[in-house]
Structure 1
Amino acid sequence: MGQKAKVLMIGIDAADQRLIRLWARDGLLPTFKILLEQATWGITTNPIGFYVGAVWPSFSTGLSPVRHGRYCYTQLGPGSYKTFKTQVTDVKGEPFWKTLSDAGRRVGIVDVPKTFLTPNLNGIQIVDWGTHDPDFIGQLYTYPETLAADIENQFGRDPVGDCNTISRTVEGYRQFRDDLIHRIETKTALSKHFLNQGNWDLFLTVFSESHCVGHQCWNLHDPHHPKHQSDIVQLIGDPLLAVYQALDKAVGELVAEVDPETPVFILASHGMGPHYDGTFLLDDILCRLENIGVSAAKQQFAKALNTNLEEVAGLSWFLKPLKQLVWKPLRDRFWRSDKPFRKAMAEPDASRRKCFTVPNNDVYGAIRVNLVGREPKGQIHPGAEYDRFCEQLTHDLTEIVNLDTGKPLVKQVLRTADLYQGECLDTFPDLLIEWNREKPIQRVSSQKIGVLEKTFAGVRTGDHQPNGMFFAINSAMPPGQLENVVSVTDFAPTIAELLNVVLPDVDGQSILERHS
């Protein structure tokens, strides 16, 4: 058999670069320890303000989010105050492996998150066998289509499923950890199976278990987290470390499968840390700044709805199984961002406001100005009035203090138009709020808003950090750390260059051009 792959790339979704370096230094991740000592490596940057939802579409297309259009699982509809659930097929631009395929290169693509199936590919593609938060949980898509049945017969289905619904008990956490490790081992076997078919120009596979464990188990990893449970950690250890060690082993095994001279890239996409942010407070803050009150009737209805549902779920002992099996997963999934029925019933009408919040995951808050000529019932005129409004709002937000730390709630307020230019800019938030995330946010205050107290209602204890890291072997770049950071959009043109294919009109630049 000939060369297995001309280029091998391994992705690790939301594996925190600080933990990788820390545990590698301590000898707990031997593969990454060797990579740090012998490979080229560097820090990667992701789309500012939008990286949680845009990192993988930007990786796949080589485009910034305002060009491919995807930044969140739910986005504001054009010319509307309503949001819609985004699908991977909404992403504009072509994944770079389609361009490679069209140029005659043979590609194997396995579980790249937030991407869609590419028809008529010169090779194979597996979508959502085992990824974090797919559009349709439990749905496997492949090209060719007949591949799905073969994969399920040989490797089974995703053993993890929706990680937001795990049982947060000793046994629940233990089972979750073990299922994640089992999925890593199965993904490794699956990847080896197809890699060993050989003659790939590019073989690309992505692991997502670090993403799942980071969201759900950060409180077990971090002894300073307010929800830390040392008793559970004593019994099962740190689930993050266990999953990272399984990933370390998987990377080592896959690298060992290819010829010693094969270029290999390993990307840890973005980071993870404690889920401390103020996004769940932002709409209340904006209402207070505009002196908009939520009607008492709507508040009472929302409160009654929530209370009555809780009471129905816990009527008596004979309904406990129903509560555990049906109500609790629904509550955890739909209440986790404090956005469901309560918000729908209590939220002031966006069309009557000067600005309003829009979805953007949780790491950065996002604000849309109700702009005349863009929104159906705009309140603020473009130009000088818009600038004055944004400046005043920025000042008001940066005046707010986290009462539990005495420090500003907001690190900075960014204007999206100062960061990005592209055809989708008009549908994006106007302002991005970077929170001071060093401590939990529950009680905030300023002269304009008074004291606002609220507790984050979600189940996730970990959330994302902006930077990732990468490693390169046999890339013609010198070993050691690169001085300059690398954009996630740079990998598409880099791989294309290694395969003598030009990617037209992308935002990224080949890493090889700058560092060889």
Structure 2
Amino acid sequence: MFRYRTRGRSLATRGAKPARTQAQVSKTVKVNGDARVLAICVDSMSLDFARAHLGRLPALRTLLTADGALKELTSPADRLTASVWVSFATGAQPGAHGHYYPFQWDQEAMAFSRVSSPDWRARLPVEPFWHDLARRGVKTVAFDPGTPNDAASAPHTEIINWSYQSSGAASASDPALLAELRRRFGRRPIGKEVPVPKTLAQSRRIRDDLIRSIEAKAEAALWLMAREDWRFFLTAFYEIHRAGHNLLVVGGDFGSEADPDALLAVYEAQDRALGRILEGAADANTTVIFFSLHGMEPNRAQDHFLAPLLARLSGAWVAHREGAPAPARPENLMARLRAAVPAHIQYSLAYLLGEHVQDWVVNRALTGGADWSRTPVFRYASGGEGYLRLNIKGRERQGCLDRDEVPGFVTWLKERLCEIRLPDSGGPLVRAIYDARDLYPGERAEYLPDLIIDYAPDEPAHAISSPAIGRLDAHLDTGRGGNHCGAAFMIVAGPGRTHAATAEVRDIHDMRTFIESLLFDQSCAARAAAESMPARSDA
């Protein structure tokens, strides 16, 4: 059943933290001696790809075959791919924390903005569990976690967005430390990603740049590990993520040109870095957790159809409601311009234009030309997923749908979407459509997409058709051969490998209680039970 909140009620919840991030836990839990935890995330690593090339990845092979306990985990990335870091950091599902993408919808502004901006940080605050660890006396270093909080307020050593997949300003608990890091290892080694098709020469530069970026991150991590006194050290690499998007060679025409071994070369560089870090951390007290919060697979995105098909369906609905043909929607000039500008020019412009200009361009491409009074549904910004938002009066500032229209419209929309076929094969475009609030209930579920489309084709299609929309021809032009999937995992090595709590980790949001169990003498189940109890009052 579809549920929504009005604008007024939505605003009333702003600034409230999910219950899990403010858990009231006894401070008398016994600290587990000299236990240390080194958590290394390699973002979006494909475990299947790595397993297929273990002969070229000796450090990972040792972890998998000798030293480590492997746990394959579930993750919200099978529906909300970019929600994983906040889910891991808070130990909560997306409906509780409200984060699904770095560029989210603001219903008051009727525009998209970055969740790392001060306004969004105030609206959807994120307090990672390692902040609580630090307050409880665990000396902590968090180096480039993929969370949108401001590191300046962290109660421990923290650096955010130094060399991260998404763009944005770096922040640190100690500005002098960030300045020293930049002086030693570079300002942003990973650089920017530009989602356009790459030539072979561009892909080779990306490969070489990512290898250098991995080396810089490894050197910086080792420097911080030696410089700081720590019991919990978290770091993350994003180069495998970037490489999976751009260097995965696929059979279709939607990927970028790349050498057959380009992706493996980046995995080999990551493996060398892993070996160096493991060697630098080896001692009897340190548990190593090597993990990825989601995976990578050949791209199945179909979002190149979303804007035109939603425009046609919206027009059909409005015409039915008003009893007259809907006026033609003004052309989205920015979207047309982006489609017309050659990929190599877009690639160059992305490095010249500032972030604010890029955000304005993306907003205009997504919403330009919209007559909100005749737009009952629109697409969310995404990495290729099918995220839809209903334009509801009383929730959106310029709403279209009356409250009593919503159930009927949702039923009608789902029926029309499920009618769409691929002309060449006759197969469906849509496998299923999910109500996000049913999948991820919670006090911040209103910030998620309303509907999530699960696409049926195994690769981007070139044409779709149905009685309601006619025929649409389009081509995915992001240059991404790979995209995300929900295949998460962790490998535990060292003394924590045989900890009883290891067996209790099934999803990425369980990793919070697992890490706390290693640092404090308490099982995952006991800690989760303690967190679920209401706070006691001594008054």
**CA spacing shift, 1:150–1:323, aligned 2, 3 Å:** closer
Return the offset for 1:41: 0.9
Q: Residue in 2 aligned with 1:354?
A: 376
Return the offset for 1:184: 0.9
* Contact residue 128 and residue 141 of structure 1 kept, 8 A: yes
Q: Which residue among 512, 517, 527 is the counterpart of 1:497?
A: 517
SS of equivalent to 1:164: coil
**CA spacing shift, 1:79–1:508, aligned 2, 3 Å:** farther
Query: Structure 1 residue 285 and structure 2 residue 331: aligned?
Result: no
1:13-412 counterparts in 2 under 5 A? Answer: 13-24=43-54, 27-38=55-66, 39-47=68-76, 51-78=80-107, 81-87=110-116, 89=121, 91-119=124-152, 121=154, 123-136=156-169, 140-164=170-194, 168-197=198-227, 199-218=229-248, 221-222=249-250, 224-227=251-254, 233=259, 237-258=260-281, 259-290=283-314, 291=316, 298-299=330-331, 325-326=348-349, 341=364, 344-347=367-370, 349-363=371-385, 365-376=386-397, 377-381=399-403, 386-412=406-432
**For 1:441-495, what per-residue CA distance to the aligned partner results, in whole angstroms no more than 9, with x for missing partners?**
120112322211112233433321222211011355559xx99872221112211
Give the CA RMSD over aligned residues. Answer: 3.9
* Contact residue 59 and residue 492 of structure 1 kept, 8 A: yes
* Contact residue 111 and residue 126 of structure 1 kept, 8 A: yes
Equivalent position amino acid for 1:206 in 2: A
**For 1:243-266, what per-residue CA distance to the aligned partner results, in whole angstroms no more than 9, with x for missing partners?**
111111211221222214421101
* Contact residue 163 and residue 216 of structure 1 kept, 8 A: no
**CA spacing shift, 1:14–1:216, aligned 2, 3 Å:** same
**For 1:41-70, what per-residue CA distance to the aligned partner results, in whole angstroms no more than 9, with x for missing partners?**
122222256532211111112122222222
* Contact residue 280 and residue 338 of structure 1 kept, 8 A: no
Q: Which residue among 451, 466, 481 is the counterpart of 1:461?
A: 481
Q: TM-score, normalised by structure 2?
A: 0.78
* Contact residue 505 and residue 514 of structure 2 kept, 8 A: no
**CA spacing shift, 1:344–1:390, aligned 2, 3 Å:** closer
Return the offset for 1:110: 0.7
**CA spacing shift, 1:165–1:289, aligned 2, 3 Å:** closer
Return the offset for 1:419: 1.0
Determine the C-alpha separation between the residues in 2 that align with 1:422 and 1:503: 26
Determine the C-alpha separation between the residues in 1 that align with 2:414 and 2:238: 36
Equivalent position amino acid for 1:30 in 2: P
**For 1:267-324, what per-residue CA distance to the aligned partner results, in whole angstroms no more than 9, with x for missing partners?**
12212223332223123223323416886683396698679x85xx99xxxxx9x998
Determine the C-alpha separation between the residues in 2 that align with 1:126 and 1:335: 24
SS of equivalent to 1:398: helix
Determine the C-alpha separation between the residues in 1 that align with 2:112 and 2:335: 24
Determine the C-alpha separation between the residues in 2 that align with 1:303 and 1:381: 31
Return the offset for 1:498: 1.5
SS of equivalent to 1:246: helix
**CA spacing shift, 1:378–1:260, aligned 2, 3 Å:** same
SS of equivalent to 1:498: helix
SS of equivalent to 1:441: coil
Q: Residue in 2 aligned with 1:317?
A: none
* Contact residue 263 and residue 474 of structure 1 kept, 8 A: yes
Determine the C-alpha separation between the residues in 2 that align with 1:77 and 1:323: 27
Determine the C-alpha separation between the residues in 2 that align with 1:323 and 1:244: 28
* Contact residue 194 and residue 347 of structure 2 kept, 8 A: no
Equivalent position amino acid for 2:277 in 1: L
Give the unaligned 5+ runs of structure 1: 315-319, 511-516
Equivalent position amino acid for 2:270 in 1: L
**CA spacing shift, 1:426–1:327, aligned 2, 3 Å:** closer
Determine the C-alpha separation between the residues in 2 that align with 1:419 and 1:42: 23
SS of equivalent to 1:402: coil
Equivalent position amino acid for 2:372 in 1: A
Return the offset for 1:400: 1.4
Determine the C-alpha separation between the residues in 2 that align with 1:210 and 1:433: 26
**CA spacing shift, 1:371–1:167, aligned 2, 3 Å:** closer
SS of equivalent to 1:190: helix
Return the offset for 1:353: 3.2
**CA spacing shift, 1:153–1:372, aligned 2, 3 Å:** closer
SS of equivalent to 2:133: helix
* Contact residue 67 and residue 92 of structure 1 kept, 8 A: no
* Contact residue 280 and residue 456 of structure 1 kept, 8 A: yes
**For 1:386-410, what per-residue CA distance to the aligned partner results, in whole angstroms no more than 9, with x for missing partners?**
4443333223212211234432111
Determine the C-alpha separation between the residues in 2 that align with 1:285 and 1:13: 33
Determine the C-alpha separation between the residues in 1 that align with 2:278 and 2:84: 24
Q: Residue in 1 aligned with 2:25?
A: none
* Contact residue 14 and residue 210 of structure 1 kept, 8 A: yes
Return the offset for 1:378: 4.6
Determine the C-alpha separation between the residues in 1 that align with 2:527 and 2:382: 22
SS of equivalent to 2:269: helix
Return the offset for 1:177: 1.2
Determine the C-alpha separation between the residues in 1 that align with 2:132 and 2:522: 9
Deviates more, 1:160-169 or 1:88-97: 160-169
Aligned residues: 481
